[in-house]
Amino acid sequence: MQPSPFTLRTGIYPEIDPTHLSGSLAGQNALVTGSGRGIGREMALALAQAGANVVVTGRTASQVNETVDLIKKLEGGAVGQAFGIVADVLDRTDLARLVEESTSVLPGGHIDILLCNAGSNMFQPFHLTDATEWWDIMELNVRAPVELTRLVLPGMRARNRGTLVYTSSRAATADLPWTTAYNCAKTAITRFAGTLQAELDSDPTSGPTNAIRCFSIHPGEIETSLHESAFPEKTRKEAPYIVEHMAKLGAKRPHFEGVLPAWTCVWLSVPSDKREALKGKYVDCTRDVGEQAEAAAKAAGKL
């Protein structure tokens, strides 16, 4: 991979400082998949702190309820409301129910911000992978967010307003070994975000200017339970060198905090000319997002 020209960031920095973004999403409604734990939980907390009303969703009721409780304990007058809905994003009937229930509990009955964060990974040589398990990763990381977008987008188009964020990965930009399904999935969802943005911007029915923005993000190598479950027993037994190799890489890697992608998503969700330069783009949360936006604006001849 080519070295990045942008400043490395591992936690909160001035551009995404919560003190500046507090209240910036007041009155907006957000739905965050995979928000019962990990990065998704951090996203839900950040959005609520920024004033958005948030639907927390995941497959495990106890985790969903815990995130909702954490939001309700946040201090500050700008904190948004929290609602928990248990749903399986791989079940199309559940997806429809999720959107229907979300719009029924959210003030105004609409979704302004959709963060498609639910996902999974598995480190395993391709020749050892099970076909069903391989395609399951594709389904969760590609089909689920695409189908959820299909359900949420009509409302955004009707209002000509909305933000769609898809959790991608650096795997979308590099040929990383032992994660063929994950790499393919993250490449696909990154291209989906960019292509959908181009389509929306070219839609003559959206009026003079399309105000729906799509982004794909690399959240950073955040240490979550996903890292623990990414090495199945078959990998540990038949390809232990993978576990050893990834452990060595992890020891050299900076420690990235969950608040980094969370508040980057808040920043991306606040409408402004500065953010416009990044719409449809792949955004690396481990690099200064202000610098990325400035570079994108220059490349587009807007600076």
Within 160-212, residue ranges assigned H as helices are 180-201
CB 231 within 8 A of CB 14: no
> From the CB of residue 173, how many other CB atoms can be counted at a distance below 10 Å?
17
Rounded to an integer, what is the distance from CA 288 to the centroid of its chain? 17
> Structure tokens of 257?
């905090």
122 Cβ contact partners less than 8 Å away, ≥ 6 residues apart: 129, 133, 137, 179, 181, 182, 230, 231, 232, 235
Residue 104 has which token pair?
């029924």
In the chain, the N- to C-terminal Cα span, in Å, equals 28
Instruction: Give the whole-angstrom CA distance, residue 83 versus residue 101.
Output: 10
Q: Amino acid letter at 33?
A: T
Judge whether 194 and 164 are in contact, CB under 8 Å: no
Which residues, other chains included, contact 79 with Cβ-Cβ below 8 Å and sequence gap of 6+?
48, 49, 51, 71
- Look up residue 167 and give its DSSP letter: E
Do 113 and 269 contact (CB within 8 A), yes or no? yes
Hey, which residues are catalytic here?
182
Other beta carbons within 10 angstroms of residue 19's beta carbon come to 7
